[in-house]
Amino acid sequence: MRRGLFGAFVVAIVAVVALFAISLPAPFAQDSLKPRPANLANGETLFHIGGCAACHTTPKQDDRLRLGGGLALHSPFGTFRAPNISPDTKAGIGTWTEAQFLGAMLKGVGRNGEHLYPSFPYTSYQRMSVDDVRDLFAFLRTLPADPTPSQPHAMSFPFNIRAGLGLWKLIYLDGQPFRPDPAKDAVVNRGAYLVEGPGHCAECHSRRGVLGGIDPAHRFAGGPNPEGKGWVANITPHEDGLAAWSVDDLTSFLATGLAPEGYAVAGSMGEVIENTAKLSAEDRRAMAAYLKSLPPRAGRKPKVAPAG
């Protein structure tokens, strides 16, 4: 009996050690990057679709290109603080390498080899191409340096232990880049890439499970605001969502924030519109076409005009 219990204990310990070993942070390999000229115009497009300014602009200042961070993102797990991602060499990412930036965007691994919290939506950014991430990094380095120090997160136990994030990633981070659907046309596939990858639309417009990961059965069907205030809209073509909207309606909405019912969005969705309005008309239409192609999923129909 004792030998059996001891054997089971040893097996359990080995299993735990193995799980943590395979969930250790894996940095992006610098030697896999070949020299290439940066496409700054593409980097700027990705900056806007990614909503970088919405989270990383220092609160209470008007220049959306000064990315000193500091915005508080409240959640059931604690309060996250958006970091400084300006090219400042002390407070920001001015001394980061491309590989370190790629590791953060695609793998959720920080400059010092630590797991990053998924308040930074790398579960969506992992769909981006390496070249697009490199262009985004090049564009960020053209912006003004801001010396504002990044503020630490305020996490409750046990969520302040980053090692556990490695196990979380085993469930929610598959490391797969976007792959076009051969059954869809180029417009829909472009929209899919923007919505699923840099646009990270599912991060807010989906319900989440107890571990904080997106519930695939409710992806894009809306859910509680991640910050605990209100309900985020269903953006699938279900009667609870966008069934009555045409591709033209959605394309116009992404440029103006005006819904076909006559209301204008505000709040966090208003900030999203500030970004999508800067995209090309072709990219807005591609996003609209993809959203209209999603499988309809039941959600919760807002009683009033949605704010986000």
Task: Indicate the SS3 state at residue 140.
Answer: helix
Q: What pLDDT sits at residue 162? A: 86
Report the chain's C-alpha Rg in angstroms: 21
Contact between residue 69 and residue 85 where contact means Cβ atoms under 8 Å apart = yes
Nearest to 44 by CA among 126, 178, 137: 137
Q: What pLDDT sits at residue 133? A: 98
Q: What pLDDT sits at residue 292? A: 97
The DSSP annotation for 283-306 comes to HHHHHHHHHHHSPP------SS--
Nearest to 134 by CA among 156, 110, 106, 157: 106
Contact between residue 281 and residue 304 where contact means Cβ atoms under 8 Å apart = no
Query: Considering the entire predicted model, what is its pTM?
Result: 0.88
Nearest to 58 by CA among 80, 93, 83: 83
What does the pLDDT profile of the chain (308 residues) look like in tens digits?
555 554 454 444 544 444 455 556 677 778 889 999 999 999 999 999 999 999 999 888 888 899 999 888 888 888 999 999 999 999 999 999 999 999 999 999 999 999 999 999 999 999 999 999 999 999 999 999 999 999 899 888 888 888 889 999 999 999 999 999 999 999 999 999 999 999 999 999 999 988 889 999 999 999 877 666 778 899 999 999 999 999 999 999 999 999 998 888 888 888 899 999 999 999 999 999 999 999 999 987 655 444 44
* 109 secondary structure, DSSP code: B
The alpha-helical segments, DSSP class H, found in the chain are 2-22, 40-49, 52-56, 98-102, 122-125, 130-140, 163-172, 186-196, 247-256, 267-276, 281-293
